[in-house]
Amino acid sequence: MTDTTTQQATAAASGAAATEQFRGKQRTEAAEVDTKRVDTLVTELLAATHDIIRRHQVTYAEYDALKTWLIQVGADGEWPLFLDVWLERVVEEVANASREGSKGTIEGPYYVPDSPRLPAEAALPMRDGEGGTALLFQGQVRSLHGTPLAGATVEMWQADNDGLYSQFAPGLPEWNLRGTVVVDDQGGFRIHTIQPAPYQIPTDGSCGTLIRAAGWHAWRPAHLHLKVAAPGHQLVTTQLYFQGGAHVSDDIATAVKPELILDPTPVADGTGREVTYDFVLDKA
């Protein structure tokens, strides 16, 4: 074990980092949600909950267990984790229902903007001797009409071979396995990285408590995170998974789609694996 992995990744530390990251991000303004919408959505959410309480004859003991747990989710900073694992996929489904180009899926809590910019062929920043099978991830960014999008960027972030994300687990270099690749004049990119390991959401905080109480497991399949952008086109936020990998068919976040499964092949010189995946972006 290297000294970067001797420090424990804790739910409290990654929860605090994910909470801080979310507060700093400007995906939308809370003020955009109007009173009528809040009234409708919260009224229906409460009515659905009331209905569950009646149908299942929820007891005071269960109500107090829920209250204790909800208080602890906040104390642990695990709201970003909880929401992105169990709700985000449906928000993404609704947001991108009419998209014709490449499929998206959840962003998750571990995106950090402004990663180092890299040329069209580049290795993601990584440590000397970074663990894991080498992976060459290559492809082209095109419009719906097949035009190469020369101005595109392919932003990638991923866990390492221990399932840890830089800036959310201790001891990793700041931008480890994070980068923003600027495609070439044919929309092409060749990114040298490593195949990530399956990822277990932190189990020592409230999400872990819930998972144990319900008899579930905490695993997401190994995945690459991507944001692909080009001027005049819709940004795609997605993840790519690996054929035959553990938990591809029982992802705790239910974020796998058939179009998002890669099947890399061994590189002829025996140095690792490679796969080609093209992105098609809808017009903005």
187 binds Fe ion (CB under 5 A): no
User: What is the C-alpha separation between 179 and 158, in angstroms, rounded?
Assistant: 10
Least separation, in Å, of the C-beta of 43 and ligand DHB? 28
Q: Which two tokens stand for residue 152?
A: 């595109």
Q: Going residue by residue from 230 to 269, which x/- string records binding to ligand DHB, judged by CB under 6 A?
A: -----------------------x----------------
| CA proximity to 259, closest of 102, 141, 96 | 102
85 binds ligand DHB (CB under 6 A): yes
Assign 187 to helix, strand or coil.
coil
108 binds Fe ion (CB under 5 A): yes
Least separation, in Å, of the C-beta of 37 and Fe ion? 30
Quick one: which H or E segment has residue 108? none
User: What is the C-alpha separation between 65 and 20, in angstroms, rounded?
Assistant: 27
Least separation, in Å, of the C-beta of 130 and ligand DHB? 18
- Among ligand DHB, Fe ion, none, residue 275 binds (CB under 5-8 Å by kind): none
User: What is the C-alpha separation between 184 and 121, in angstroms, rounded?
Assistant: 9
Q: Going residue by residue from 185 to 214, which x/- string records binding to ligand DHB, judged by CB under 6 A?
A: --------------x-x-------------
User: What is the C-alpha separation between 115 and 175, in angstroms, rounded?
Assistant: 7
Least separation, in Å, of the C-beta of 221 and ligand DHB? 10
Strand duo 134-143 + 279-281: pairing: parallel
Q: Which is nearer to ligand DHB, 136 or 207 (CB)?
A: 207
164 binds ligand DHB (CB under 6 A): no
Which of 11, 17, 81, 177 contacts ligand DHB by CB under 6 A?
A: 81
Nearest position to ligand DHB, beta carbon: 108
User: What is the C-alpha separation between 11 and 207, in angstroms, rounded?
Assistant: 9
228 binds ligand DHB (CB under 6 A): no
Alpha-carbon separation of residue 216 from 60, 64, 126, 144, 199 (angstroms): 24, 21, 33, 40, 15
Q: How many residues bind ligand DHB (CB under 6 A)?
A: 11
227 binds ligand DHB (CB under 6 A): no
Alpha-carbon separation of residue 201 from 15, 117, 151, 164 (angstroms): 11, 28, 35, 10
Could you list the residues that contact ligand DHB (CB under 6 A)? 81, 84-85, 106, 108-110, 199, 201, 220, 253
